[in-house]
Amino acid sequence: MPTVTENLQFWSVYDWKLEGNEWNVGYGGTRAAWQFAILPRIQRFVPCDHLLELAPGHGVWTEYLRPLARRVTLVDLTPRCIEFCRSKFGEENMSYVVNDGRTLAGVADSTIDFAFSWHSLVHAEHEVMRSYVKEICRVLKPGGMGLIHHTNYGEFAAPRDDRPAVPNDHWRGVDMTAEKFRNDCAEFGLQCVYQELVPWGSLEPVDCFSLVQRPRPGQQLRPAVVDENPFFWQHIRLGLALDCRYREVPVPIPAT
């Protein structure tokens, strides 16, 4: 069970020499991950004024997100990661917070237009995600949006009559599920707009991207649309194939 303490210990001594690019090999590299996995899911919400990235590690996504916001706030549990990001991205239009792994203390109420996290909170248990749901609701501006990658592994951690348990090969939170995320959103007044359940190292949908919105005053919460996408990885490969096809077209006169 990856606790906050275990996460802090693990990421503090992790060998960051590849700076997070090592997790993007399966997409065809970091640029492909950004272009074909992340950007299509967030492009309606950027550019924006103030973007929060939760758990940036060494900032592989910050590099792409930074030009898409007037101001970026990075929050991470591991001091070493925040120090690295500070030296990489500097102070201009950037804010940095080392947090307790549960709250967004240091981020003011109703100040964030778009909250983002990818590849990180999959290692968080339900108790942590529940706290972040509440905190994301607090820091988003009314109408502000968020896309949060978390795990749904809790649905598959134990065997059932019709199938064995799915091995926890990717250090997922064992008691976290998409349903718990939706329920927490409803409890804390955050609109869970859409959940995309995706496979991760197995055929089962063990991970989830949740799109959330802080309601505007008077806006009623509605049930989330929940959608399983077994073709998540195939979509990325189709995007890559198209990209390669056009990259290789010989252009007789260099384009201006």
Ligand X SMILES: C[S@@+](CC[C@H](N)C(=O)[O-])C[C@H]1O[C@@H](n2cnc3c(N)ncnc32)[C@H](O)[C@@H]1O
Minimal distance, residue 16 CB to ligand X, in Å:
9
- Could you say whether residue 78 binds ligand X (CB under 6 A)? yes
146 binds ligand X (CB under 6 A): no
String marking each residue 95-114 x if it binds ligand X according to CB under 6 A? ----x-x-------------
Work out whether 120 is an interface residue with ligand X (CB under 6 A).
yes
Nearest CB to ligand X, comparing residues 50 and 119: 119
- Residue by residue, what is the 3-state secondary structure of the chain? CCCHHHHHHHHHHCCCCCCCHHHHHHHCCHHHHHHHHHHHHHCCCCCEEEEEEECCCCCCCHHHHHHHEEEEEEEECCHHHHHHHHHHHCCCCEEEEECCCCCCCCCCCCCEEEEEECCCHHHCCHHHHHHHHHHHHHHEEEEEEEEEEEECHHHCCCCECCECCCCCCCCCCCCCCHHHHHHHHHHHCCEEEEEEEECCCCCCCCEEEEEEECCCCCCCCCCCEEEECCCHHHHHHHHHHHHHHHHCCCCCCCCC
CB closer to ligand X out of 201 and 215: 201
Tokens found for residue 238: 């189709």
- Which residue, among 199, 148, 195, 155, has the nearest Cα to 174 in the 3D structure? 155
Task: Work out whether 76 is an interface residue with ligand X (CB under 6 A).
Answer: yes
Binding mask 39-68 for ligand X (x = CB under 6 A): ----------------xxx--x--------
| Residue from 123, 126, 134, 150 binding ligand X (CB under 6 A) | 123
> Judged by CB under 6 A, which stretch of 35-43, 73-81, 173-181, 229-237 contacts ligand X?
73-81
- The crossing angle, in degrees rounded to 10, of helices 4-13 and 79-89 is 50
CB of 200 to ligand X, least distance (A): 13
* Out of 124, 136, 145, 224, the residue judged to bind ligand X by CB under 6 A: 124
Using the minimum distance from each CB to ligand X, give the nearer residue, 118 or 156: 118
Residues 167-226 touching ligand X, rule: CB under 6 A, are none
Q: In the complex with ligand X, which residue's Cβ is closer, 55 or 190?
A: 55
Q: Is 37 in the site for ligand X (CB under 6 A)?
A: no
Q: Which residues bind ligand X (CB under 6 A)?
A: 4, 7, 11, 20, 23, 55-57, 60, 76-78, 81, 99, 101, 118-120, 123-124, 128
